[in-house]
Structure 1
């Protein structure tokens, strides 16, 4: 079964390459360097894919895997557009050929020649995803954007009126490749001068060692009322093969230790009181709980000792936890902060006109602010990136939330 799938995938790659070559050949019939360049680009990617496959390490995936993903996206997306146009043209050519053969007007050639206009249109439109992806890989992945929201609550303690929170999520430190850009992002977080910084999970891609080169950079994060964090689904090391169970346990222990070195208080199915003057709010942090993912989170345990009417903020990595558990929970949780989706790192957002990402097919609440049953959920689009080393239309996010009393 696996062999058949691989065979079909290879045939599919061959098909889109062949059709794409037809477009270039039609448009540049006498330019051999264009034809040679096309095949050199395609075969170069496939050779690199073979190299990555042969050197793949399931414990330390490395940056080459991300580079391969970006090259495949750069290659395949434009070719799919060309395929649609030229395959559609071939259907028309076959129909015309049959009709002309029946009517005797085909002049000896069954298939009419390809029209240059179709190839021109296909190549022009295919340049859009190519240039968009190229921008996302070279610039978009570090194009940090500050998103600000003001939330009003009837029962917010007066001392917390105007309290500010900066939320970051999904750092995925194993994907970073530019220290200067990363330090710019960290400085931008500090420039918000929020009272508190909350990190909602996925510090690494797979193993704790990915964060080692960036500890000094993230230690620069400052917040007068503290920095708090939770674990995301990638932090447990569930997606790679470990030599032993002990190695996996030690990896998680080291990751928790790194959180402490960064100055974050890691909350694992527990809560802490944030005191200001004579009032306090409850900050709750649960381990990862996701629909279709590991469910280590225990909201009952985390809220066991809390007062029924206290003001509560929950950090829960996966937004599906909100729909499945939090919004129906016996205690009122005023605000839930999540991440996880990354907005799929691909989409289009034009305020007031359109807001779409493939993430919406999997997560009804995939990015931004939501309100349901008197409870707020904010889904951060992520600070870093995973697998595909870029962002197209969905930029890395730093969220600033201001709490106001009605």
Structure 2
């Protein structure tokens, strides 16, 4: 086993032990029902054993299975709330230790006896918030589809496209799906927007083309009068699995690309199209994946061949780091870029007008929503599906609707 994996497992093991110890002590202090702490400890142990067994028995050739996702999900549900208990009570122990040292030298009074019970009650109360949030995220939140609408005005937008509407979806991750009724609802919600065009910006599978087999009839129902266009994401290349032969990986990649016409999408592989309306046109450019630390198959120059600098351009690029490092300052002037990839980490807090936070912001400068620099825009869609963690907490699955206006 690689040294890095051993260290990771050791850190998780230490966190589990310390958090379980403090949670056990808190329950012992607060509850009068003595078996409760043992029942919860037994349930937690089963969850931990299931996670480590799943990790140790899975093969990278299998990719990321639903079994792994649920094992990881239950691990977070069991562990994260207890980390809140651990931090509060461990901090109190440090403070109490400091007071004992001071009292030894100064003969000051000892801490109040009732403080431990109060802090235990407070810690368990705080822990109930992430516990409820994670449970909701796993069973409801991942299907809590939100329609996010923007209106963007451009001086150089052709008059014929004033009022033109776009539905933008991304990161389907069909290999994670486990509820056909909910996915059908999401697809119906996209169609309800009645946008002129639909764009999909990558990651149609987790790793294998066959993951989409059961979902082709569902996503082929998507409709748009001016067409449907798509690109590839980092997961579509099959890079997250061990393959028996290079030929197997190549065949899977071709099968992934073949999914797009099956559901009625025109897949753009470093190429472009013109969309015409009333004798005027805008340029649509689609690049393969280009990401910081990921596959850099995307070639903006090749994809833009035949496009004029003065054309109004919509760029489809899966990873928003492409916009940050290559696109936004390009003299060719890509007015609007549509991306995905981040999922908003599927975890965060968003209250419009008040707060917008996720750990994703420490990795990606543009991680969710609409951004503007140099008069150019990027929309980072939060994703239609989910990956790794089988849920969403505070960062809901998204359907973006953008209306273009003539400034």
TM range (shorter): over 0.9
Aligned to 1:32: 34
Aligned-partner Cα distance in 2 for 1:127–1:234: 35
CA contact (8 A) 1:282 1:311 kept: yes
Aligned-partner Cα distance in 2 for 1:360–1:8: 24
1:246-325 mapped onto 2 (5 Å cutoff): 246-325=247-326
Aligned to 1:201: 202
CA contact (8 A) 1:339 1:381 kept: yes
Aligned to 1:64: 67
Secondary structure at 1:294 match in 2: coil
CA contact (8 A) 1:232 1:317 kept: yes
Is 1:22 the counterpart of 2:25 in the alignment?
A: yes
Structure 1, 350-359 or 188-197: larger mean CA deviation: 350-359
Aligned to 1:167: 168
Output the TM-score relative to the length of structure 2.
0.95
> Which of 25, 29, 43 is the equivalent residue of 2:45?
43
Q: Offset at 1:398?
A: 0.2
Aligned to 1:129: 130
CA contact (8 A) 1:86 1:119 kept: yes
Aligned to 2:158: 157
Secondary structure at 1:80 match in 2: helix
CA contact (8 A) 1:94 1:111 kept: no
1:60-209 mapped onto 2 (5 Å cutoff): 60=62, 61-102=64-105, 115-209=116-210
Secondary structure at 1:149 match in 2: strand
Unaligned runs of 5+ in 2: none
CA contact (8 A) 2:51 2:72 kept: no
Aligned to 1:9: 12
Secondary structure at 1:74 match in 2: helix
Q: Deviations over 1:297-336 (max 9, x none)?
A: 0010011211221111100001111111111223111110
Aligned-partner Cα distance in 1 for 2:7–2:319: 35
Secondary structure at 2:226 match in 1: coil
What's the Cα RMSD here? Answer: 1.8
Query: In the superposition, relative to structure 1, how do residues 137 and 374 fare at CA in structure 2: closer, same or farther (>3 Å)?
Result: same
Aligned-partner Cα distance in 2 for 1:119–1:134: 22
Secondary structure at 2:61 match in 1: coil
Secondary structure at 1:48 match in 2: helix
Q: Offset at 1:8?
A: 3.9
Aligned-partner Cα distance in 2 for 1:97–1:241: 56
Aligned-partner Cα distance in 2 for 1:377–1:92: 48
Q: Deviations over 1:267-292 (max 9, x none)?
A: 00000111112111110000000112
Q: Deviations over 1:333-371 (max 9, x none)?
A: 111000011111111111111111111111111111111
Aligned-partner Cα distance in 1 for 2:345–2:249: 27
Output the TM-score relative to the length of structure 1.
0.95
Aligned-partner Cα distance in 2 for 1:51–1:278: 62
CA contact (8 A) 1:96 1:112 kept: no
Structure 1, 113-122 or 240-249: larger mean CA deviation: 113-122
Unaligned runs of 5+ in 1: none
Secondary structure at 1:115 match in 2: helix
Count of aligned pairs between the two proteins: 403
Aligned-partner Cα distance in 2 for 1:404–1:397: 22
Aligned to 1:382: 383
CA contact (8 A) 1:172 1:204 kept: yes
Aligned-partner Cα distance in 1 for 2:7–2:299: 42
Query: In the superposition, relative to structure 1, how do residues 41 and 158 fare at CA in structure 2: closer, same or farther (>3 Å)?
Result: same
Aligned to 1:404: 405
Secondary structure at 2:229 match in 1: strand
Structure 1, 31-40 or 268-277: larger mean CA deviation: 31-40
Query: In the superposition, relative to structure 1, how do residues 4 and 270 fare at CA in structure 2: closer, same or farther (>3 Å)?
Result: closer
Q: Offset at 1:252?
A: 0.7
Q: Offset at 1:167?
A: 0.3
Secondary structure at 1:221 match in 2: coil
Q: Offset at 1:99?
A: 4.2
Structure 1, 1-10 or 171-180: larger mean CA deviation: 1-10
Q: Deviations over 1:37-93 (max 9, x none)?
A: 121121111121133124313233311111112111112211111011111121233
Query: In the superposition, relative to structure 1, how do residues 82 and 270 fare at CA in structure 2: closer, same or farther (>3 Å)?
Result: same
Is 1:345 the counterpart of 2:339 in the alignment?
A: no
